[in-house]
Amino acid sequence: MRRRMEKSNGKPPRSRLCLLASVLALFWFLIFYFHFAVLSGNSPETLKPSLPSPSIPSESQHFSKQSRPVNPVRSIVPPRSILKRNAQREPKKDFPFLRALKTAENKTDPCGGRYIYVHDLPPRFNEDMLTECRKLSLWTNMCKFTTNAGLGPPLENVEGVFSNTGWYATNQFAVDVIFSNRMKQCECLTKDSSIAAAVFVPFYAGFDVARYLWGYNISVRDAASLDLVDWLMKRPEWKVMGGRDHFLVAGRITWDFRRLSDTESDWGNKLLFLPAAKNMSMLVVESSPWNANDFGIPYPTYFHPSKDADVFVWQDRMRKLERKWLFSFAGAPRPGNRKSIRGQIIDQCRNSKVGKLLECDFGESKCHSPSSIMKMFQSSLFCLQPQGDSYTRRSAFDSMLAGCIPVFFHPGSAYTQYTWHLPKNFSKYSVFIPEDDIRKKGVSIEERLKQIPDHVVKEMREEVISLIPRLIYADPRSKLETLKDAFDVSVQAIIDKVTKLRKEIIDDREDKDFIEENSWKYALLEEGQKVGAHEWDPFFSKPKDANNNGDSGSSSAEAAKNSWKNERRPQS
């Protein structure tokens, strides 16, 4: 024992020192690991302050230079799950529209996520056109139709067809001014464009094109459109999304704004083919199935209520009416159009004991009397709505206002047009008889309609009547209390469109495979569906011109021109 002590000179054995050193090293190892891996959430290799998420600040930001370890243990690496969590905290690119998206998170703000910014355009783009209203049409004095905020003169209820208030002799192409005046009543307008869900451009595009279609060269026709986009592109609001959050309204069919070339004889102006305009959304009374920058909204009817009660009273009245005619048609033949089935429809109406015909032709006609038209629609179960010069007709909305079930013969007359305002399931509110059934097979409209059971007819009529609020434009000088009219539905659809696009941009998931020529199909898709073959493909596979950018070709432009010729008829 004494020898062993002498050999060690009174010191503890080396093995004990090694054990003690190991314990101390393990202790400090655990201290460092707990501090850096658990508390700070950062590896010692990244002790420099990072840019954390604003809502979850990193604790490493609170260290002073003096308090940081000088020689951190570099072998200590945080778990992979912690690194992944920190990566998710890193903010993505600072998009200029993030503030607008965040307004929707404020549940105490009734306008959160719904603010609209309206450009203050020079008056040459809107109000100046109204002061020169006599120049808006060759055949119609539009001055009287721009009165009463665009509703036109009041209609007298002489025959008891209308209700006592809210009825006006509204021109079918007056949406430009009606929509703009309704926008002035919107409760969610803002002067701060950074919180806007969408940006409205109050350009009277329909009135502009109306001034110069006959007898003017393309330079004059295009002047205001080119001037407008030049003005917009210089604005800071435009730079936020390159105009993809902008929208405007034109109360005419899309073909008036889609001139195919710069040949003087070609129809219309080229507003919708301008690169800047392709980024904007344009609301028109008839859109193109093959283009993505326009959207169909209802033609204005004669009814513009100022309060909810006016609508409820009208709906109840339409439910209780006796309808003595199985079907009716108001319109004129199209002898110059070989594809038109109007001739056959008129013949079937004439030869049926349960069909009613109101013939419209040049000169004086009951077809130009709102009371005569509405009286016939109110006495009919079904109202026939074939194509006119173009796909759509105002008559479809007049008939639904009267509680009459529309019968369409081409999907472009309603189903692919007004997808914001009408149910995707078209059989709930309408009947579809393909044109070829009439043109080639000689199908009897009367027999086809008689096959529909009475209880189904009743359900369809109730569906039509329930749709009335979203198909009409309320009086622009007032606002409905709880009901959403065509204006409200359209604005909300634009907001939804822009919001969806902004979220897709942030998440980098925009549809890179979007095929513009199939535009008509996308709005018909259910959640999760992909674009593919469709039963209506034959209706929209018209021959395309070689130089028309995939549009509908000269046939649509010719249809637009013919629709203008028909405006020569007197207007009531």
pLDDT tens digits, 393-408: 999 999 999 999 999 9
- How does residue 388 score in pLDDT terms, banded at 50, 70 and 90? confident
Least confident of 196-200, 293-297, 331-335: 331-335
Spatial distance between the Cα atoms of 267 and 278, rounded to a whole number of angstroms: 19
- How does residue 137 score in pLDDT terms, banded at 50, 70 and 90? confident
Run of H or E residues at 114: none
In a domain? residue 463: yes
Run of H or E residues at 326: strand 325-331
- pLDDT digit string (tens) for 167-187? 999 999 999 999 999 999 999
- Rounded mean pLDDT, 212-240: 96
Please tell me the total number of residues recorded for the chain in this structure: 572
- pLDDT digit string (tens) for 508-557? 888 888 999 999 999 899 877 888 999 999 999 855 543 444 444 556 66
Query: Is 366 in the same domain as 331?
Result: yes
The DSSP annotation for 446-511 comes to HHHHHTS-HHHHHHHHHHHHHHHHHHS---TTS--SS---HHHHHHHHHHHHHHHHHHHHHTT---
- How does residue 145 score in pLDDT terms, banded at 50, 70 and 90? very high
CA dihedral 512, 517, 519, 522 (to 10 degrees): -60
> Quick one: which of 460, 441, 439 has its CA closest to 449?
460
Specify the pLDDT at position 64: 37
Spatial distance between the Cα atoms of 205 and 248, rounded to a whole number of angstroms: 8
Specify the pLDDT at position 546: 38
Specify the pLDDT at position 557: 65
* Domain assignment of residue 122, given as a range: 97-300+485-509+517-524+555-564
In a domain? residue 542: no
Tokens linked to 433: 């008889």
HEC profile of 233-264: HCCHHHHHHCCCCEEEEEEEEHHHHCCCCCCC
Q: Does residue 231 surpass a pLDDT of 80?
A: yes
Tokens linked to 467: 């749709």
> Quick one: which of 255, 287, 200 has its CA closest to 523?
287
Specify the pLDDT at position 552: 47
In a domain? residue 269: yes
- Rounded mean pLDDT, 86-107: 78
DSSP 154: B
Greater confidence (388 vs 21) lies with: 388
Query: Is 146 in the same domain as 279?
Result: yes
The DSSP annotation for 271-289 comes to GGGSHHHHHSEEEEEE--T
Side-chain-side CA neighbours of 56 within 13 Å: the count stands at 10
In a domain? residue 163: yes
- Coil, strand, or helix at residue 151? coil
Question: Which residues lie closer than 8 Å to 430 by C-beta, 6 or more apart?
Answer: 405, 406, 407, 408, 414, 460
> Quick one: which of 409, 414, 435 has its CA closest to 424?
414
Query: Is 223 in the same domain as 356?
Result: no
Query: Is 440 in the same domain as 348?
Result: yes
In a domain? residue 23: no
In a domain? residue 206: yes
399-to-283, 287, 305, 379, 467 alpha-carbon distances in Å: 22, 21, 17, 10, 12
User: How far from each other are the two terminal CA atoms of the chain, in whole angstroms?
Assistant: 130
Specify the pLDDT at position 336: 75
Query: Is 279 in the same domain as 326?
Result: no
Domain of 365, CATH number, reads 3.40.50.2000
Percent of all residues in the chain with a pLDDT value above 70, rounded to a whole number = 78
- pLDDT digit string (tens) for 13-39? 555 666 666 766 676 666 666 555 544
In a domain? residue 160: yes
- How does residue 196 score in pLDDT terms, banded at 50, 70 and 90? very high
Spatial distance between the Cα atoms of 552 and 377, rounded to a whole number of angstroms: 32
Specify the pLDDT at position 33: 61
Query: Is 293 in the same domain as 419?
Result: no
Query: Is 332 in the same domain as 462?
Result: yes
- How does residue 487 score in pLDDT terms, banded at 50, 70 and 90? very high
Query: Is 295 in the same domain as 343?
Result: no
Least confident of 104-113, 201-210, 452-461, 562-571: 562-571
User: How many domains are contained in the chain?
Assistant: 2
- pLDDT digit string (tens) for 252-287? 999 999 999 999 999 999 999 999 999 999 999 999
Query: Is 224 in the same domain as 131?
Result: yes
Displacement of CA 378 from its chain's centroid (Å): 30
- Rounded mean pLDDT, 381-390: 94
In a domain? residue 17: no
Query: Is 145 in the same domain as 273?
Result: yes
Query: Is 252 in the same domain as 333?
Result: no
Spatial distance between the Cα atoms of 420 and 298, rounded to a whole number of angstroms: 10
Tokens linked to 553: 């070709």
Query: Is 180 in the same domain as 254?
Result: yes
